[in-house]
Copies of this chain bind each other. A is one copy, B any other.
Amino acid sequence: MVCVTDLLPDARTETRARIEQAALDLFTRRGFEQVTTDEIADAAGISRRTFFRYVATKADAVWGDFGSHVDRLDRLLSATRPDQPVLASICAAYVEVNDYAVADLPMLRQRMTLVLGEPALQAHSQVRYADVDRVVAEHVARRAGLTPGALLPRLVATSTRAAATTAFEVWLADGTTSLADDLHAAFDQLALGFPGLRTRAA
């Protein structure tokens, strides 16, 4: 029994972190499909039933508290000044929420390598990203005086997320660039209608 009132970091928060770390390590080492939820639970020191009280699905185990990231993105977008171009404000918000400390970068790489590389996790990410799209579309709709369901807000939301995802892929594949630079490069191409396509041959 863990009992005792050490609980400084809060027992639930600690368990949550153990689950995430165990899932990240096992998935990285053996692949998502080859790991059972029993094994993750064992590695995290809990029962399988308790595992599913902390995370809704096996795929959710690698996402940490993604909801708070979305909330932070929402606040950042709401706080942007009206004289800033819409795309620039979205880019800045994406850069800000992905501004991890150097010590946290290895874990971010591990997570994103899995999310973008494992088909099952890639599929599941769509559900999580839908929240991001909703937040961005609402921001664009406010700024442009449109409804969030109109073509333009939706399109900006999905294509900026495509830009962010692509920047992540390049960042992971390269290994030498900074994520912020990759994000800016992708958003610049998007905002200017892909000028790189018009310079025939590099």
Contacts and interface: CB of A to CB of B under 8 A. Distances in A.
Contacts of A126: 122-123, 125-126
Interface string A23-52: 000000000000000000000000000000
Given A146-B202, A201-B144, A165 B156 contact: no
Interface residues of A, number: 48
Interface string A79-91: 0000001110000
Given A158-B162, A186-B155, A149 B173 contact: yes
B156 A159 contact: no
A4 interface: no
A186 B162 CA distance: 15
Given A126-B126, A194-B87, A197-B156, A151 B202 contact: no
Q: Which 4 A-B pairs have the closest CB atoms?
A: A158-B162, A145-B201, A159-B159, A193-B193
Interface of A: 85-87, 119, 122-127, 130, 140, 143-146, 149-152, 154-156, 158-159, 161-163, 165-167, 169-170, 173, 182, 185-186, 189-194, 196-197, 200-202
